[in-house]
Amino acid sequence: MSPLFWLPPLLLLLTGMPAWSAAPVKFGDALHEKFHHARCIQCHQFNSGKSNGRGFTSHRSRYLCDNCHTRRITGLPRGEWLAPNEKLDYTGLGPAETCQLIKRNLGAGDPKAAMTRHLLEDARIRWALESGMTPAGRFPAVPGGYEAWAREAKAWIDGGMLCE
């Protein structure tokens, strides 16, 4: 039989291959579970009334965060221990919704660079992954530490920040 007969199916097979061997990285694969760990959530829902965040409960009359969450305790420079606006509360959201929320609130500029800065260089994220220390002692950090986190976050960003 002529080799030309085999060429089209062979090409199809070869070009189809990468799709089977390297499935695209999605937010739900590894990042979602870590985003919803208590060390992230407790701070992200702090100012949210609908999630009954700490700003409305244990911390109702606590201001000047640095007075208690000192540099010695958190490892963060002064002025960095703060809770985000309530629009960054993603408590209870599924993988696709959490992913869309953080992409929506990324701010101006190149999304890839901004996401890399937030996920790999933010000192508060580092605290959640490696420390967990509060004025009342150490709370469990997000499992896996910074190494695993950085690998997973980079793979997701490089793969085009797919939500689903």
Would you tell me which residues interact with ligand HEC (CB under 6 A)? 34-35, 38-40, 42-44, 46, 54, 58-59, 62-65, 67-69, 81-84, 88, 102, 105-106, 118, 124-125, 127-129, 134-136, 139, 142
Nearer to ligand HEC, 142 or 157 (CB): 142
Nearer to ligand HEC, 12 or 52 (CB): 52
Residue 133, beta-bridge partner list: 138
Phi, psi at residue 126, to the nearest 5°? -60, -40
Question: Shortest gap between Cβ of 29 and ligand HEC (angstroms)?
Answer: 15
Question: Shortest gap between Cβ of 82 and ligand HEC (angstroms)?
Answer: 5
Question: Shortest gap between Cβ of 23 and ligand HEC (angstroms)?
Answer: 23
Three-class secondary structure of residue 160 per DSSP: coil
d(CA 65, CA 59): 10
Question: Shortest gap between Cβ of 18 and ligand HEC (angstroms)?
Answer: 29
51: which DSSP letter? T
For the chain, helix (H) and strand (E) counts, in that order, are 9, 2
Nearer to ligand HEC, 12 or 87 (CB): 87
CB 161 within 8 A of CB 112: yes
